[in-house]
Structure 1
Amino acid sequence: MIDRRPALIICCANAHDVATAIAYARQHAMPLSVRGGGHNVAGTAVPDDGIVVDLSRMREVQVDAARRRVRAQGGATIGDVDRASQAAGLAVPLGLVSQTGIAGLTLAGGIGWLRRAYGTSSDNLAAADVITAAGERLHVSETENPELLWGLRGGGGGLGAVTSFEYHAYPVGPDVSFALVFHTWQDAQSALRNYREWASTAPDEVSSFAILWHAPALDEIPAEYHHTPVVTFAAMHLGDSAEARHDLAPLRDFGNPIADLSDVIPYLDAQRAFDDDYPAHELRYYWKSLYLTGLDDDALGLLTKINEASPSPHSTLDIWQLGGAFSRVGAEETAFGDRSAPFLLGIEANWESPDDDNANIQWARNAHQAMSAYSTGAEYLNFPGFYEEGEQVLRASLGANFERLIALRKQHDPTGLFSRR
């Protein structure tokens, strides 16, 4: 989807290389972007006729089990961090697809399976090493440059090149209870209403989704349902198996599911559960999002109509259950902003052929417009389309934090080196 032509791609091995690349861009007044571990479908890591500071070779991960801290270089992926931290019986709250780079994920928030138990990736950012537009190397923590740490926690980036991230980690695994239940389209409305009620009372140990899409051609799903509209519920439970069976029973036992693939599985496998749905360099992507104020019957009915109109069987409407630890961080405590919405709607247009670009992008934009009536107006900055609304999407999503973040960017990047696109 992203066809831009940078003048230079500088593949960095260490922080010195990053500082050298930034100095070169500053000297020649060239557009500059930073690429971490990849997976950003908005394409913000690639400027035309500019410089890409590529951190993808910087993937070292260090685990301090005694302090429950994990330090990872800026080019690391979720999979890199998961493997290293699980070896010590720990996990960092990150995203859902293991090939995702931790840098962009964290700087725009980072929501995954641990969100209701431990919050976002950005909430758990304890420290970072940053190289600013002026070439200054800063260590950032609660006691060193705390205002910069505030901005790195969910403000969307643009404050410098982060060469390392240090996270809080938590005892998780090695196994977790994972629910994955498929319902026919005929039962979609009743199943979604049941999900809505269950999600409002589920404990913090559970993070879940309702997914409206088309059934994949899995052997466990009867063939007559393949590629037809379905509703899927996915959930991870961090407690012991007895607690998990009790807490997940209302989700698993409702109605007559066409498939129930739930099981106790390694945490690492749960983190890779959706990897195959996002094959690198095979599909085309356009993702939008909205924080929802609720899921009344009218909203659920509209979502089912939108799914029926999808031009691609790969596209999904993902209803993320929020609340728990995610919601207990004040709106001004981090740049991420307001946490009051009970659900996040992810609108994922995923398709195969360039010939179908317009139809799929328009489907996602129509869905976004139609569901805006049920939203706070804010978007999750990791699912921003192509940032085509520019400053508007930042203002709507960061709320009262927007002006504070812009002042911070001007302090550390007065010439806009990191925002020339």
Structure 2
Amino acid sequence: MYQSLKKELDNRVIVSGDEGYNQKRKVWNATIDKHPGAIIVCKSEEDVLKAVQFANEKGLHMTARAGGHHVGGFATCDEGIMIDLSQMNTVTVDQGRQVALVEGGAKLGDIDAETQKFGLATPTGTISETGVAGLALSGGLGYLRGKYGLTCDNLVGANIVTMDGQLLHVSDEEHQDLFWAIRGGGGNFGIVTQFEFALFPVGPEVLAVDVMYDYQDAKQVLLKAQEYMNQAPDEVSFNLTVTMLPPVPFLPEFLHNKKVVMLGGMYAGDPEVGKAVVKPLQEFAYPIVDQTGVIPYVALQKKLDAMVPDHVAVHGTSLYFSKLTEESIDLLLAKLDNAPMPTYLAQLWALSGKMNRISPEETAFTNRDSSFVLLLDYMDMGAGPEVCKQWVDSVYDGLLPLSNKGTSYLNGIGANETVVKNTLGVNYQRLAEIKKKYDPNNRLRHNHNIQPAE
């Protein structure tokens, strides 16, 4: 079936039994174990066009792999085609336009490494190994969200291969419906081969907030975090992470197997001015460690990489909250106290500033009125998949009535039709119409799927 395509693409079509197949089909989350009919390794837009046209001829569904970092394993599938963009990772800075041209397979570290040569950055996430494609298409939360918005908010253009085998350039002037849809509607509408992101002066050094509190002070810390958020300036974005620290050599012994609340963040402005602004973040309780200081922006962007090692079995969920209340905090902490094993990362990301001043209808990304989002990752270190899933689901179900309209950050939760409809809300029907126009056969279905309108 794939022989002609193999010849056309210099044997860059990998099928079961070929060398490298089992490695290539792996994604970040080890709970995902799928077997594509073929993996097509693309080096150019022309390769992507050929892959999509081939899939159309054969009536095959497909996925696009950039970083393969989504908890839902959306980069892969059973039997269909995986279009592997990982070798398309070039980043070019257009200084005249203040724009970064980013190929679809680039990772966040690729973007930061190139843009920081010019003292520039675009809002991305906080794990350098994440692929920009999945991040941007469903939002993009990072340390610049308060000052400059989400990754998708700073997309000014893109090249996209549609399911009828066309290569389109989309922007505010061209194919506006598709451009609107890919800013929050996920990978439902085509395969993005190049992104164009607006750039801003950032770094090369920034003020990074890095404080660790004892878990016994967790409730106080979370309540004070909400209080701070009520008046936070745009320049400040921070995340709170509740976890048990592992007994690893790079941590001092007194922190081994200790439950803590880590507060990590950034001041997007003059570090000297920022020191007074972030001071309250360092005083939510008595800090057991405080490494707040000025560091390279690229170092900050890689700081959390060690917390999310590759190919670990992870069960994840997410919910937005209008605000953190005593009730929601008590419920979350009670759930964490009763986890089968303390192998979780429970993150609460503070949301404010530019990202929340954009109208819900301006882009497909709808949630613009929350002050925190929960991202819960539970690593299966022996509890077993059923136990892990049951516990994660119990956290979601317990907090759902206290959430902001049952919405979730789609980059942090697995496939769920109800979650997608709740989250995309007022934009869902418009997205379904655009889906019908650009992917009427739903070939791109291994995602937070939007069904084509009837």
Verify the 8 A CA contact 1:37 1:74 in the aligned structure 2: no
Q: How many Å separate the matches in 2 of 1:218 and 1:351? A: 18
- Superposed, which structure 2 residues align to 1:173-212 within 5 Å? 173-212=203-242
- Superposed, which structure 2 residues align to 1:215-294 within 5 Å? 215-217=245-247, 223-281=253-311, 283-294=312-323
Verify the 8 A CA contact 1:289 1:383 in the aligned structure 2: yes
Q: How many Å separate the matches in 2 of 1:186 and 1:86? A: 39
Alignment-derived partner of residue 299 in structure 1: 328
Verify the 8 A CA contact 2:183 2:365 in the aligned structure 1: yes
Alignment-derived partner of residue 362 in structure 1: 390
Verify the 8 A CA contact 1:229 1:308 in the aligned structure 2: no
Query: What is the CA deviation profile of residues 218-269 of structure 1, one whole-angstrom value per residue up to 9, with x for unaligned ones?
Result: 6786634422322221111122222221111111134321111212110000
Verify the 8 A CA contact 1:8 1:52 in the aligned structure 2: yes
Letter in 2 for 1:12: C
Q: Does 1:124 align with 2:154?
A: yes
Verify the 8 A CA contact 1:347 1:368 in the aligned structure 2: no
Alignment gaps of 5+ in structure 1: none
Q: How many Å separate the matches in 1 of 2:157 and 2:193? A: 11
Alignment-derived partner of residue 319 in structure 1: 348
Q: Does 1:373 align with 2:373?
A: no
Q: How many Å separate the matches in 2 of 1:338 and 1:126? A: 20
Q: 1:220 to 1:23 in 2, by over 3 A?
A: closer
Query: What is the CA deviation profile of residues 355-379 of structure 1, one whole-angstrom value per residue up to 9, with x for unaligned ones?
Result: 5222222221111111112212111
What's the RMSD between the two structures over aligned residues?
Answer: 1.6
Corresponding residue SS for 1:162: strand
| CA positional deviation for 1:206 | 0.6
Q: How many Å separate the matches in 2 of 1:124 and 1:351? A: 35
Verify the 8 A CA contact 2:100 2:196 in the aligned structure 1: yes
Corresponding residue SS for 1:21: helix
Verify the 8 A CA contact 1:38 1:99 in the aligned structure 2: no
Q: How many Å separate the matches in 2 of 1:284 and 1:148? A: 34
Q: Does 1:92 align with 2:122?
A: yes
Alignment-derived partner of residue 333 in structure 1: 362
Verify the 8 A CA contact 2:122 2:199 in the aligned structure 1: yes
Query: What is the CA deviation profile of residues 70-126 of structure 1, one whole-angstrom value per residue up to 9, with x for unaligned ones?
Result: 011100000001100001110011111000000011111111111111111111110
Alignment-derived partner of residue 3 in structure 2: none
Q: Does 1:38 align with 2:64?
A: no
Corresponding residue SS for 1:128: strand
Alignment-derived partner of residue 11 in structure 1: 41
| CA positional deviation for 1:41 | 2.1
Verify the 8 A CA contact 2:229 2:371 in the aligned structure 1: no
Alignment-derived partner of residue 351 in structure 1: 380
Letter in 2 for 1:329: I
Work out which of the residue numbers 413, 425, 434 in structure 2 matches 1:384.
Answer: 413
Verify the 8 A CA contact 1:206 1:236 in the aligned structure 2: yes
Residues 256-265 or 225-234, more deviating: 225-234
Q: Does 1:412 align with 2:448?
A: no
TM-score (norm 1): 0.95
Q: How many Å separate the matches in 1 of 2:410 and 2:432? A: 16
| CA positional deviation for 1:183 | 1.4
Q: How many Å separate the matches in 2 of 1:416 and 1:256? A: 53
